[in-house]
């Protein structure tokens, strides 16, 4: 009788092993193997369930069943370990595959960017003038009334002050420079009585309506040469040389009489319109000419304020607007694009 029970239990163990092995083969995740373990090998599992019947066997029959049960357990535990190792390996492989970098893919194009148009215009101007022996001289953007006007031959109340709408600060007598010309005084006072040849680039500020042609903040590049026997012809020669290099050899230029309190005589320089070559177009307002700068022979009083004896020394000065020049050069129809930070402007030129 009990032999039959023993056979039955051994049969059950064999069946359990078969079932467990089949089930384990289908376990595809760590979680599935844990479920499998609790179903077959845990204390509440099927193996324990079978062994609970051991009590119905005689003492002589128990050892064989116990031995087989232990073997089945060992085999299944081994199989579980192998299965778990295989699953861990497969998961690792999957992660590796998902995160792998395909080095054969083409690279993403790099956007290198460009220099701002104002910066480019300034650098072109620096290159041309430094080659002619001009030094670059830095002077302040916040100035006194004295430097911005008085020492440039515009005492308080001088009507020519109206040519520049000024941003005053809350400190009396302190203002944002309306042009780079006060830098002339700084340079002269630093170098007098030595001869000088300088350009003074920098930002200027004007309390003006912002329009397509003028911003309230903009750059100027001032030029100043002081020495003995400097004449108006030197001014013309330098500026024509500049225009040839900036706009190409042979670009027609003209000087028109003008007025500035700190130069005498004073002129403005035009070049033949880059777009229509003098025929007339919207860029030159159908005049055929583009104004690029103001200039003149330094007024004797200004030389004196700078520390030079005007009976011995003479000089010329000019002031140009690099944004205005770039506007013309690249046919940009609105100066406000320069400082609104739209990269499409940079891509256009």
Which chain residues interact with ligand PHE by CB under 6 A? 179, 181, 222, 260, 263, 294-296, 317-319
Q: How many whole angstroms separate alpha carbon 5 and alpha carbon 55?
A: 11
Instruction: Give whichever of 33 and 220 is closer to ligand PHE, judged by the CB atom.
Output: 220
Q: What is the smallest separation between the CB atom of 255 and ligand PHE, expressed in angstroms?
A: 12
- Give the start-end residues of each E strand in the chain: 135-136, 142-144, 174-176, 196-205, 217-227, 253-260, 263-272, 289-298, 314-320
Phi, psi of 153 (to 5 degrees): 70, 30
Instruction: Give whichever of 134 and 260 is closer to ligand PHE, judged by the CB atom.
Output: 260
Q: What is the smallest separation between the CB atom of 318 and ligand PHE, expressed in angstroms?
A: 5
Residue nearest to ligand PHE (CB): 319
Instruction: Give whichever of 84 and 214 is closer to ligand PHE, judged by the CB atom.
Output: 214
Instruction: Give whichever of 181 and 328 is closer to ligand PHE, judged by the CB atom.
Output: 181
Instruction: Give whichever of 40 and 318 is closer to ligand PHE, judged by the CB atom.
Output: 318
Instruction: Give whichever of 245 and 258 is closer to ligand PHE, judged by the CB atom.
Output: 258
Q: What is the smallest separation between the CB atom of 164 and ligand PHE, expressed in angstroms?
A: 7
Q: What is the smallest separation between the CB atom of 216 and ligand PHE, expressed in angstroms?
A: 14
DSSP letter string over 100-158? ---TTSPPPPP------HHHHHHHHHHHHHHHTTPEE----SEEEHHHHTGGGT--TT-
Q: What is the smallest separation between the CB atom of 290 and ligand PHE, expressed in angstroms?
A: 16
DSSP letter string over 204-219? EE------SS--SEEE
Q: 301: Cβ–Cβ under 8 A, 6 or more apart, which residues?
A: 153, 310
End-to-end CA distance of the chain: give it in Å, rounded.
104
Q: How far is CA 263 from the centre of its chain?
A: 41
Cis ω before 265 (30° cut-off from 0): yes
Instruction: Give whichever of 230 and 295 is closer to ligand PHE, judged by the CB atom.
Output: 295
Q: What is the smallest separation between the CB atom of 263 and ligand PHE, expressed in angstroms?
A: 5
> Tokens 């022996």 belong to which residue?
133
Q: What is the smallest separation between the CB atom of 295 and ligand PHE, expressed in angstroms?
A: 5
Instruction: Give whichever of 65 and 204 is closer to ligand PHE, judged by the CB atom.
Output: 204
Helix (H, G, I), strand (E, B) or coil at 32: helix
Q: 203: Cβ–Cβ under 8 A, 6 or more apart, which residues?
A: 141, 217, 218, 219
Q: What is the smallest separation between the CB atom of 172 and ligand PHE, expressed in angstroms?
A: 23
Q: How many whole angstroms separate alpha carbon 182 and alpha carbon 192?
A: 15
């Amino acid at each position: 009788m009990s032999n039959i029970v023993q056979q039955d239990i051994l049969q059950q163990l064999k069946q359990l092993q078969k079932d467990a092995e089949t089930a384990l083969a289908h376990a595809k995740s760590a979680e599935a193997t844990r479920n499998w373990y609790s179903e077959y090998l845990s204390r509440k599992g099927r193996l324990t369930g079978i062994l609970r019947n051991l009590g119905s066997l005689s003492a002589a029959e128990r050892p064989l069943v116990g031995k087989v049960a232990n073997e089945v357990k060992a085999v299944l535990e081994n199989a579980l370990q192998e299965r778990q190792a295989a699953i861990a390996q497969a998961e690792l492989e999957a992660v590796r595959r998902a995160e792998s970098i395909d080095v054969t893919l083409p690279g993403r194009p790099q956007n290198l960017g460009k220099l701002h148009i104002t910066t480019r215009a300034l650098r072109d101007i620096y290159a041309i003038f430094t080659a002619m022996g001009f030094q670059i001289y830095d002077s302040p953007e916040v100035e006194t009334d004295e430097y911005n006007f008085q020492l440039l031959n515009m005492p308080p109340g001088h009507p020519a002050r109206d040519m520049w709408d000024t941003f005053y600060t809350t400190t009396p007598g302190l203002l944002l420079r309306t042009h780079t010309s006060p830098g002339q005084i700084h340079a002269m006072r630093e170098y007098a009585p030595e001869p000088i040849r300088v350009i003074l680039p920098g930002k200027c500020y004007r309390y003006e309506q912002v329009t397509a042609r003028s911003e309230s903040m903009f750059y100027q590049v001032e030029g100043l040469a002081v020495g003995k026997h400097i004449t108006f012809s030197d001014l013309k020669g330098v500026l024509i040389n500049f225009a040839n290099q900036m706009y190409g050899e042979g670009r027609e230029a003209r000087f028109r009489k003008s007025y500035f309190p700190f130069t005498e005589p004073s002129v403005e320089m035009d070049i033949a319109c880059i777009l229509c070559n003098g025929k007339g177009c919207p860029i030159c307002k159908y005049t055929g000419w583009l104004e690029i700068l103001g200039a003149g022979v330094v007024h004797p009083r200004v030389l004196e304020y700078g520390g030079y004896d005007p009976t011995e020394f003479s000089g010329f000065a000019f002031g140009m607007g690099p944004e205005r020049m770039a506007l013309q050069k690249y046919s940009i129809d609105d100066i406000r694009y320069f400082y609104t930070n739209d990269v499409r402007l940079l891509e256009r030129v």
